[in-house]
Amino acid sequence: MRHFAVVGSGPAGFYTAEALSKAYGENARIDILDRYPVPYGLIRFGVAPDHQSLKAVSKRYDKVAETAGVDFIGNVCVGRDVAVAELLELYDAVILAIGAPHDRKLGIPGEDLPGVVGSAAFVGWYNGHPDFTGLDPPLGGTHAAVIGNGNVALDVARILSKTAQEFEGSDIVGHALEALDQSAIRTITILGRRGPHQIAMTPKELGELGHLEDALPVVDLSDFPPREADDALEPGQRKSVTILREFAEIRASKRKAMIFDFFAKPLSIEGEGRAEKIVVERTELDEKGGARGTGETYDVPASLVVSCIGYSTPSIEGVAYDERGGKFLNEQGKVADRLYAVGWARRGPTGTIGTNRPDGYEVADRIAADMPPGSSSDLPGAEGLKRLLESRGVMPTDYDDWRKIEETEVGRARPGSPREKFVRHDEWLQTLGR
Ligand code: NAP
């Protein structure tokens, strides 16, 4: 028998557990640990609430959790309740699948002013992440800015633009829905430090902006190279750029505008005790395709600034860490003897949810090569972990507990919503009578 601890129950953790279960069959016990009693990580807390079809992938993870030999152990924080080194004494291998929940810093003056938030915080706020329930982003001004030209920037701009009716069918949390419904924001400037050809937005997600009830995407075609230059782009990127060009042809009048401001590099965020504007430098592309400042500056008004410029994985004591990449130092998923990393903790914060599947399978193959499926050890696995946690007064939860929480959330859903999420840790535990 082999015992594996997968730390983190997001997509990377579940795909790895699935792969290990397939590779080892009855010869393995796989525990998926999470610091919360609720699983699915990015699916629950990161994927936009109005993208329910993406969230539906959790049904596949349910099947994994229900597989014999696979267990969900929630409410256990690795690094606080138990150390990685301790897990390695109990399990044959430990797989870090903790994602990249921290916002990358802008590194410009004013980024700590009230009114400036990172996308992890803002997305966590509307998705019911307990760390960000109290964020209370300022929505009372008329201007907001979103920094970055990736899919997260699109999510944030779209969420800021939608009407309450457009959230029907979503699982946006009540506090965010209410606040967004009262929002005075009418102009959302999306700042990209490079041009339309360099966006990191995918066509489907970009296309959604063209169909909003009360908001219009605005582009300036003078930012674009000649149309023939689009031919050199790879097909997906060409499609995104075509969609951007089409935005310029929309003739309609709506209450809100999402302005794409390209070649715009934030220099500082300024205001009297709180964000009021971003000082931006006009850029041009350098020889390597990077952003080079031109020296020309201008102001973009914004009382709310959401920086969507990527994420990093938190470091864990004793685990080799790549400061520049914001992820664990690893070689094709291997961090150290019997210690592995998968998903964003391995690769950095890029790729879709589906990217984590081959990633998890690859690392499972690596583990199987290091400890062949027919081999065994006499490590205690979950039994040892539970004894250790008990001695520390930590009460883990299991998959049945999660189903209880889920049923309660579904039971209290407002009309048109699949669930009304609990947004605090103590609410989850209360639901379980703890
Ligand atoms: P991302 O795709 O890496 O985009 C980050 C953006 O931030 C880039 O436009 C980058 O510009 C910009 N940026 C970085 N540092 C900056 C700085 N200092 N100042 C100004 N701009 C800066 O990251 P993401 O949007 O966080 O998304 C993470 C991953 O999740 C991506 O793979 C994304 O596709 C995926 N995702 C998918 C979906 C979906 O499928 N619906 C939704 C959300 C996220 P440069 O290019 O110039 O560096």
Distance of CA 20 from the midpoint of ligand 1 (Å): 31
Closest atom of ligand 1 to 107 CA is 18
Q: Please tell me the distance from the alpha carbon of residue 311 to that of residue 342, in angstroms, as a whole number.
A: 15
pLDDT for the residue numbered 317: 87
Distance of CA 378 from the midpoint of ligand 1 (Å): 44
Atom 16 (ligand 1): residue with closest C-alpha?
309
Atom 36 (ligand 1): residue with closest C-alpha?
151
3-class SS of residue 384: helix
pLDDT for the residue numbered 389: 98
Distance of CA 275 from the midpoint of ligand 1 (Å): 22
Distance of CA 23 from the midpoint of ligand 1 (Å): 34
Q: Cβ-count burial of 246 within 10 angstroms (0-12 exposed, 13-18 middle, 19+ buried)?
A: middle
Q: How many CB atoms lie within 10 A of CB 209?
A: 23
For the chain (434 residues), the mean pLDDT of every run of 10, in chain order, is 98 98 97 98 98 96 97 97 97 98 97 98 98 97 98 98 98 97 98 98 98 97 97 98 97 96 98 98 97 98 98 94 96 97 97 95 98 94 98 97 98 94 96 95
Closest atom of ligand 1 to 194 CA is 47
Residue 106, amino acid: L
Pocket of ligand 1 from Cβ distances under 6 Å: 51, 106, 147-153, 155, 192-194, 198, 200, 202, 205, 266, 308-310, 349-352
pLDDT for the residue numbered 271: 98
* Strand ranges in 271-352 using DSSP code E only, listed in sequence order: 277-285, 291-301, 304-307, 311-312, 321-322, 327-328, 334-336, 339-341
pLDDT for the residue numbered 304: 98
Q: Please tell me the distance from the alpha carbon of residue 157 to that of residue 381, in angstroms, as a whole number.
A: 45
Pairing of strands 2-7, 28-33: parallel
Confirm if 216 and 258 have CB atoms less than 8 A apart.
Answer: yes
The predicted model scores a pTM of 0.97
Residue 308, amino acid: C
Residue recorded with tokens 């959401």: 306
Distance of CA 348 from the midpoint of ligand 1 (Å): 11
Nearest C-alpha neighbor of 324 from the set 342, 341, 305, 310: 310
Confirm if 196 and 168 have CB atoms less than 8 A apart.
Answer: no
Distance of CA 100 from the midpoint of ligand 1 (Å): 13
Confirm if 219 and 260 have CB atoms less than 8 A apart.
Answer: yes
Q: State which of 104, 116, 190, 193 you would mutate to test the pocket of ligand 1, scoring each by most atoms of that ligand within 8 A of its C-beta.
A: 193
Confirm if 229 and 197 have CB atoms less than 8 A apart.
Answer: yes
Distance of CA 349 from the midpoint of ligand 1 (Å): 8
Own/partner contacts of 161-167, CB < 8 Å, gap of 24 or more, are 161/188, 161/209, 161/212, 161/214, 161/215, 161/256, 161/258, 162/50, 162/212, 162/213, 162/214, 162/215, 163/213, 163/214, 165/213, 166/50, 166/212, 166/213, 167/49, 167/50, 167/417
Closest atom of ligand 1 to 350 CA is 32
Distance of CA 24 from the midpoint of ligand 1 (Å): 36
Closest atom of ligand 1 to 148 CA is 7
Nearest C-alpha neighbor of 314 from the set 329, 326, 332, 325: 326
pLDDT for the residue numbered 44: 98
Tokens read off for 103: 């916002």
Burial 377-394 (b: 16+ CB within 10 A, else e): eebebbebbbebbeeeeb
